[in-house]
Amino acid sequence: MGGMQALQWIVTYPDSTSSAILIATSPTHTAQAIAFNSVGRYAIITDPNWNDGNYYGKKGPDTGLSLARMIGHITYLSEESMHQKFGRRTIKQKNQNGLDFVKEFEVENYLQYKGESFIKRFDANSYLYITKAIDCFDIQSGKKSLTEALKDVKAKCLVISFTSDWLYPKEQSLRIVKALKTNGVDTTYCNLESNYGHDAFLIDDPKLKKVIAGFLSSMDELTKK
C-alpha cells in the first residue's frame, strides 16, 4: 500500500511532490494478488466469531485472521528464502499413524507462529478494508493508458524492484518506469538482487541503502541549485 500511496500522491498532487521513491509496487493488483487477498478475507468472514464485523467486546475472529496472515506471509517470501531458512526440516517425530497435520515441518511451525502473533496486534476488520483497498487500487482508472494516467507527474522518481519478488515482479515496476519516461519524467530504475521476495524492502540491505542514499543526495544537490 505504501508504494501505491506514493504513486497516487505524485499523480494527485504533482505541484506538491518534488520526488518519490516507489519500492516494490504496482500500478494495480494482478488477478493472482487479488486471489491471495480474497482467500485471506474469506478466512476471516467465515470465522463464526467475525459476526458480520460486530465482534468488539467479544472474542474476535482470531482463527480467520491468523489464517489470513499465514496466507499473506507466504506471498511476501520467496521459494529460495524459504528453502534456505526451513528446507524440509522437521520439528518432531511423526505420530503413530505416520502423519501430523499440524506441526511436523519447521515451515509449518513458523507460519503458525506468524499467524498467532499477528492477532495480538492487528484488527480483523482493518485487515479486510486494507486488503480490499489495495485490490481496488488502479492508478490508470478512467484513463486510456498508464502513460496518460502519469502525464502530469513532475516529481523526480526512483523505482526499485527485487529479483525474487513474485508478488510485485519487476515487470510491474517497468510498466511504471516506461510510462514515466514516456512523459519525460526524470526516472531512475533499479532491480536489486535479493533472495527475500517481497520482504526484501524490509531487510537491512547495504545495496538498497546505497541506492536510496544516492537518490536523496541528488535531490539535495537539486534543491541547492
Q: Answer yes or no: do 102 and 158 share one domain.
A: no
Residue pLDDT, tens place only, 104-148: 889 999 999 999 999 999 999 999 999 999 999 999 999 999 999
Q: Answer yes or no: do 63 and 126 share one domain.
A: yes
- The beta-carbon contacts of 181-185 under 8 Å, at least 24 apart in sequence, are 182/147, 183/147, 183/150, 183/151, 183/153, 185/150, 185/153, 185/154, 185/155, 185/156, 185/157
Which CATH number fits the domain that encloses residue 123? 1.10.1740.110
Which residue segment(s) compose the domain that 193 sits in?
A: 2-28+142-224
Q: Answer yes or no: do 39 and 127 share one domain.
A: yes
Q: Last residue of a domain, which of 101, 134, 167?
A: 134
The answer to whether residue 223 scores a pLDDT higher than 80 is no
The answer to whether residue 94 scores a pLDDT higher than 80 is no
Distance separating alpha carbons of residues 106 and 114, to the nearest angstrom: 12
Query: pLDDT value at position 225?
Result: 60
Q: Last residue of a domain, which of 111, 134, 157?
A: 134
188, with CB counted inside 10 A (0-12, 13-18, 19+), is middle
Q: Last residue of a domain, which of 88, 105, 134?
A: 134
Residue pLDDT, tens place only, 1-38: 999 999 999 999 999 999 999 999 999 999 999 999 99
Predicted TM-score (pTM) of this structure:
0.90
